[in-house]
Amino acid sequence: PITIADCGDADVLQGDRDYSFQCIERAVRRIIRAGSIPIVMGGDHSISIPVGRALEEYGKKICVIQFDAHLDWTDQLGGNRLFNGHPMRYMSQLPYVDRMAHLGIHGIGSSKRSDFQDAGAYGATILSARQIRAMGAQQVLEQLPQGGRYYVTIDIDAFDYSIAGGTGSPMLGGLLYDEAVDLLEGIAQL
C-alpha cells in the first residue's frame, strides 16, 4: 500500500526569495533523506530551483520532465537568474540532471529563439501541445528519456485555457486533461 503524508508547508517569506528558497530546499532534502518521494505543490515555477537543488540527495542522475506552456529557459531578466522563467535552464546546469523533456509548450513570447536553441543544444526533447496531440501518448513516451529517476514538474498553464483559466498566463492550445493523464501514467511506467 502507498502511504501519503502531508509534511506541512515550507516557510516562505514574501519578498525574501533567498530565505524562501533555503526553506524549500531544506524541506525537500529532509523528505528525500527519510526515504520518501516529495510531492511539492504551490508557488510559481521558480520553486523548481530549490527543489532541483535538493534532488542532489538522490545521488543519481535525474531526468526532468516539464509540463508547461513555456520553456522556462530564459537566461536572465534584468540581471536576475532565479525567477519563474529560468528554472529549466538552471536545472540543466546541475551535474546530477541528466536529460530533460518539455511537454505542452505553447506559450507565445516568453522565450527567445536562442532559449530554444540552447535547450536543443543541451539535448532536450521539446514537444508542443499540438505535436503531442498529433503523435498520441505512446509515441510521445517513446521520445522521452528512458530509465533512471524522474522529476516531473507541472505548471498549470500547460493545460488549455478552457480547463485552466485561473492561471496567471492563460493561453489557448494547451494540453487537455486526458492527454496529460495518459502521459503521466506512461511516465510512471518508464
pLDDT at 86: 81
Identify the three-state secondary structure at position 99.
Answer: strand
Place of cell 521558480: 46
* Residue 148 CA to its chain's centroid (Å): 17
pLDDT at 136: 97
pTM over 0.75: yes
Phi, psi of 124 (to 5 degrees): -70, 145
* Distance in angstroms (rounded) separating the CA atoms of residues 60 and 190: 16
In the predicted model, residues of the chain with pLDDT beneath 70 are none
pLDDT digits (tens, 9 = 90+) for 14-58: 889 999 999 999 999 999 999 999 999 988 888 999 999 999 999
User: At 10, which amino acid appears?
Assistant: A
pLDDT at 111: 82
**b/e burial code for range 27-52 (CB count within 10 A of at least 16 → b):** bbbebbeeeeebebeeeebbbbbbbb
pLDDT at 178: 96
pLDDT at 120: 95
* Distance in angstroms (rounded) separating the CA atoms of residues 35 and 130: 38
* Distance in angstroms (rounded) separating the CA atoms of residues 94 and 76: 17
**Set of cell numbers at residue 151:** 522529476
